[in-house]
Structure 1
Amino acid sequence: MINGLSTDDYPLTVTSLVERAERFHPHRPVVSRRPDASIHRTTLGECSRRARQLASALRSLGIGDGDRVATLLWNQSEHLELYFAVPPMGAVIHTLNPRLHAEELGFIVADADDRVIVVDESLLEVFSTFRDAHAFEHVIVVTHDRSAPEGMLAYENLVAGAQPMTWPVLDERRAAAMCYTSGTTGRPKGVVYSHRAVVLHSLVIALPDTLAVSARDVLLPVVPLFHANAWGLPYAAALAGAGLVLPGPRLDAVSVLDLLADERVTVTAGVPTVWMAMLNALDAEPHRWDLSALRGLAVGGAAVPRSMLEGYDRHGLTVLQMWGMTELAPLGTACRLPQALEHSTADEQYDFRSRQGVAVPLMEIRARNDDGALIPWDDTALGELEVRGPWVAAGYHRGRGADNFTSDGWFRTGDIVRIDERGCIRICDRAKDLVKSGGEWISSVDLENHLMAHPSVAQAAVIAVSDERWGERPLAVVALRDGATAEPQDLRRHLERDFARWQVPDRFEFVPAIPCTATGKFKKTQLRETFGDAGR
């Protein structure tokens, strides 16, 4: 018996991850780059110890079981301390994206009913834009001199003046964390993760065929801690005893490359837009950075074009494509090259690696066509991907979005996929982004990936526009590389090597840069507003 529980009933809680980091890996480094570009160094053990004090301080402010604690912070050590403190005390950490619009942030904090918010001093101006939308009981500010604006509390003073908490025994199915979807098709929806979900997710991330995280690794999550639990990397690091490098708000290519080299990072993770910029920097100055420690770049959030895979291979760096969603905490699939393809041709290997991968352990997948029938795994049939697993949300906060969940417990992702005989998925589009021209489907993702393989193209996004004859036609929005030139006929000829003429966009619009969402995805809603009437 342990704490009155049989071993079969041992709770899978975030507490066990934090305690493991504190007991077995206290000296593993946690490195943060501050907004002012200074470097702060601490350890997993120190973050775990301070988390106990932070939890006691929050308890003294009246934060109890199930209460939401909002964070408006960058990837920094204080954010990690909140990851380690809030769930083990029985409360719920709710991370906020500072890049969202003020109206959206105001809706989110009110909908979540956050009681406390912790804000970095560099984000106080952002906070001021939505502060009146919700009555926070306390505002805690992370500063470097232990001061705080009037009416707010200084984070360091709270931590320094508190006694370490003895963690309570918790039910593994209680809420641990909360994130909101991006709200691309309506109001953002809250996704709540249980302790059990977080622990199982962390275990699977660390497996050899996912990220293979161990105590020998140093992880740099370029993906923000405010986005889908930073893909679970902070908790995977605690579980395995890996070091962490937290890059703060500066995510330009040179800043990220400097950290990867200086801190001898072994695994990093982020969205394709970051890695595209980083590849350009590496191509321009291939000998500037020593990245010999870096064994893997995990990429998710959008499909990875073959040109990016080839580009990083030229530098001896391996891109691992993954797929997930906020509703999945977020990992769903990983694309490791299978043993059967290790000696196959480069084309066969790139074809496989450009897919989004097979379901990670404990995750189930299937897909349905327009008629509601399950599609065969023949890499030809198209269907909407559905998933089921122990860290897939069972619903949204306040019961919203019930239509996203089936009666037998599967989540409808909205991603249109093909599945091959290995169970490896290829995402062909979001359901709302497919182009239906003359009754035939055209994949915007396939067109985008091929356009970005053109040597003059830096970014490409394809949207559907209305057409009197065909119903819809694809329109390509293209941003060229610095100093490069290309005409529509050049891009059209490039695409016609791999696509039928009816699949090739009728129009090409050139822009300086394609607008991105707060999480680095192409903002197609804005492109539709700008170019939506172009085909009429």
Structure 2
Amino acid sequence: MLGLMQDRSLTLPHVFHRAEQLFGHKTVVTAAPSGETATTIAELCGRVRRLATVLDDLGITADGRVGTFCWNTARHLELYLAAPCTGRVLHTLNIRLFPDQLVYVANHAEDEVVFVDRSLLPLLWPHVDKLETVRTVVVIDDGADVPVPDDPRVRDYEELLAAARPRTGPFEVEDENTAAAMCYTSGTTGNPKGVVYSHRSAVLHSLATLFADGIALTERDVVLPIVPMFHANAWGLPYGVLMAGSSLVLPGPNMAPEAIVSMLERHEVTVTGGVPTIWMGIQPLLGEHDLSHLRTILCGGSAVPKALSKAYKEAIGVPMLQAWGMTETSPIATIATMHSHHDELTEDERDDARARQGFPAPLVDLRIVDPGTGELQPWDDVATGEVQAAGPWIARDYHRGEGGGAQFTEDGWLRTGDVASVDRYGSFRLVDRTKDLIKSGGEWIGSVELENEIMAHPKVAEAAVIAVPHERWVERPLACVVVKEGEDLTAEEIIEFLTPRVAKWWLPDAVEFIDEVPKTSVGKFSKKTLREKFGGYRVAGPSTHDGG
């Protein structure tokens, strides 16, 4: 027996039409070098209809890849809608990729056109001749004082829109499994891999941003996504905002802490999201601004230090809401919301709960598996294993099937490469990446947990822990520490601070003070870079593992 419900495809045109019909009066604000601009959703949707015709006029094929090389702006949001709503595939190019990776990604995806913010032209144009399938480069003038090449391949965004007739009638995409967008992994090992999001996965993931035990977007919210739109669809916030009818504030190219916190205050933002390094930079400014309208500070990309979340709670009354995921999970997989069983905990215990990666989002299935034996591990918060994920917005393969043979299990689950434990309520606690675990004398040391403890020191700005070779114990932890400006700190003080907090054999055998922890293209700590920098490092003297 079949159900008697209408068979309506889950596609992004629904998100567009909903926003156009119900929320035309809501606003989108964009910061640019020339100042802030504001537009309504109604005006934006009218431009999307013109942009749809532009894609036709440029000769973009029916399922052609539309590359974007843009900041978080209203113009980028127009492309977020026009490309998939006309059956094309939005391909957000990461502006922080190395040139050879940028060329590889654009060629691998077979981009036919690239829309680029004028301020970013110097990063793209020198490599255009290497882009094998790109026929047109459309420049979006964001007010930057950057010369535009005199080249027949270059077109002006506003001129194209002014000359185009708006697409009339509803947008239609028949098959919800049609590709809607592409995003490549950050490529920390080997070439980046293409993750292809379907219309169905994008719609369902957007719904997840509205769930009460999650980000819980509503029509009343004002949302500022600091997380870039060029990576993992800005954690689903652009489509989620359009579905909920929230107002949107987009920061453009200025990621300076002063600029961000000023926008948060001036526009009375209620929901915002970014990686921990963003919030570390803003933390010293919290006392200078009125952020009383904030209800949710979404933080992800890497584990959120307990001390950072606690500092925000003490300063403005709002702790971090930690989320975990990856490009392959669209990206939201877990969210560390507070549940009823947390009510009986002390405030310090609740801080510990917020420092976890949290509970699987509805429709996401997670399991932890012993990477050696393949056996499922119990949810007891003691046993650890690799996190594996399945669900309607979880990747099942990579574009062209390249590089994913070891990433997916025989029964179709995604191997995330993250190691975690799970408590009996289903709250995940990230221990490390499989490649970053430190095995000392046959025992595992979680670098993420050790980093969080180091960053709890009041004089520490950032810390990353990597493994270095050891003659007796095979590997030992090396702590790479950034000291807060104006502070003095010694290795001995770090070890003294850690001693009551971790097992003796977890204590780093050495501490190196560095100016900054290197970052990946999406703002995560680049331990690969640190391992290369300290590749020949050898610990002198006895190890803290001795007698541990």
Q: What TM-score does the superposition give when structure 1 sets the normalisation length?
A: 0.96
Q: 1:93 aligns with which of 86, 90, 93?
A: 90
1:429-444 equivalences in 2 (<5 Å): 429-444=432-447
Q: Which residue of structure 2 lines up, in the alignment, with residue 345 of structure 1?
A: 346
Give, in whole Å, the separation in 2 of the partners of 1:527 and 1:471: 18
Judge conservation of contact 1:82–1:93 (CA < 8 Å) in 2.
yes
Alignment pair present for 1:476 and 2:479: yes
Structure 1 residue 64: Cα displacement: 2.6
SS at 2:205 equivalent: helix
Counterpart in the other structure of 1:311 = 311
Residue 7 of structure 1: how far off its partner (Å): 5.2
For residues 361 and 121 of structure 1, the distance between their equivalents in structure 2, rounded to whole angstroms, comes to 40
Question: Distance between the aligned counterparts of 1:49 and 1:343, measured in 2?
Answer: 52
CA distance in 1, matches of 2:172, 2:502: 60
After TM superposition, give the deviation of residue 129 of structure 1 in Å.
Answer: 3.2
Deviates more, 1:492-501 or 1:502-511: 492-501
Return the alpha-carbon distance in structure 1 between the equivalents of residues 80 and 523 of structure 2. 23
Q: 1:417 aligns with which of 417, 420, 432?
A: 420
Counterpart in 2 of 1:3?
none
Give 3-state SS (helix, strand or coil) of 1:230's partner. Answer: helix
Which amino acid in 2 is paired with 1:20? R
Distance in 2 (CA, whole Å) between partners of 1:142 and 1:490 is 51
- Give 2:202's aligned residue: 198
- Give matches, 1:317-396, under 5 Å: 317-369=318-370, 370-396=372-398
| Aligned pair partner of 1:128 in 125, 128, 140 | 125
1:462 counterpart residue number? 465
1:115 is aligned to 2:112:
yes
Deviation, 1:37, is 4.9
1:17 deviates by 0.2
- Tell me if structure 1 keeps the 8 A contact 2:366–2:387: yes
Measure the CA separation in 2 of the matches of 1:37 and 1:326: 32
| CA distance, structure 2, for counterparts of residue 404 and residue 322 of structure 1 | 22
Residues 319-359 of structure 1 show CA distances to partners (whole Å, capped at 9, x for unaligned) of 10000100011100000011121242012211111100110
* C-alpha separation in 1, matches of 2:224 and 2:323: 16
Q: Which residue in the other structure is 1:29 paired with?
A: 27
Q: How many pairs align? A: 526
SS of equivalent residue, structure 2 residue 243: helix
Residue from 155, 158, 168 that aligns with 1:156: 158
Within 5 A, what are the aligned runs for 1:134-173? 134-135=131-132, 136-143=134-141, 149-150=149-150, 151=152, 152-165=154-167, 166=169, 167-173=171-177
Which residue among 43, 47, 61 is the counterpart of 2:44? 47
CA distance in 1, matches of 2:407, 2:14: 32
Q: d(CA) in 1 for partners of 2:218 and 2:409? A: 37
Is 1:241 matched with 2:245? yes
User: CA shift at 1:149, angstroms?
Assistant: 3.6
How far apart, in 1, do the equivalents of 2:127 and 2:322 lie? Answer: 36
Q: Look up the match of 1:230.
A: 234
Decide whether the 8 Å contact of 1:64 with 1:90 is kept in 2.
no
* AA in 1 matched with 2:388: E
Is the 8 Å Cα contact of residues 473 and 535 (structure 1) preserved in structure 2?
A: no
Residue 95 of structure 1 deviates from its aligned partner by 0.4
Check conservation: 1:295, 1:318, Cα contact below 8 A.
Answer: no
Any idea what the Cα deviations from partners look like across 1:490-515, whole Å, max 9, x if unmatched?
A: 10111111212211110100011111
Q: Which amino acid is the alignment partner of residue 306 of structure 1?
A: K
1:516 is aligned to 519
Q: CA RMSD in A?
A: 1.4
**Paired AA for residue 240 in structure 1:** A
The range that moved more, 421-430 or 56-65, is 56-65
Q: What CA distance in whole angstroms lies between the structure 1 residues aligned with 2:109 and 2:101?
A: 12
Cα distance in 2 between the residues matched to 1:522 and 1:241: 34
Cα drift, residue 523 of structure 1:
1.2
Q: CA deviation at 1:371?
A: 1.3
Q: More deviation in 316-325 or 437-446?
A: 316-325
Secondary structure in structure 2 of the residue aligned to 1:403 = coil
SS of structure 2 residue aligned to 1:297: strand
Residue 79 of structure 1 is matched in structure 2 by 76
Q: Helix, strand or coil for the counterpart of 2:242?
A: helix
Indicate the residue corresponding to 1:293 in structure 2.
293
Question: 218-227 or 7-16: which moved more?
Answer: 7-16
Change (3 A) 1:324 1:11: same
Match of 1:195, as an amino acid?
H
**Change in 2 beyond 3 A, CA 1:358/1:162:** same
The superposition leaves residues 89-131 of structure 1 with CA deviations (integer Å, 9 ceiling, x where unpaired) of 0000000111111111011001001000001111111012321
Amino acid at match of 2:101: E
Q: Aligned equivalents of 2:476 and 2:110: distance in 1? A: 43
State how 1:258-269 maps to structure 2 within 5 Å: 258-269=262-273
Query: Bigger shift: 141-150 or 74-83?
Result: 141-150
Per-residue deviation, residues 448-496 of structure 1 (Å, max 9, x unmatched): 0000000110000000111111110000000000111111111011111
State whether structure 2 residue 20 is matched by structure 1 residue 18. Answer: no
SS of 2:493's equivalent in the other structure is: helix
- Equivalent residue letter for 1:462: V
Query: In 1, distance between residues paired with 2:495 and 2:319?
Result: 30
Structure 1 residues 439 and 62: CA distance shift in structure 2, 3 A: same
Q: 1:521 to 1:352 in 2, by over 3 A?
A: same
* Structure 2 Cα separation of the partners of residues 417 and 515 of structure 1: 24
Unaligned segments of structure 2, at least 5 residues: 540-548
1:56-75 to structure 2, matched below 5 A, reads 56-75=53-72
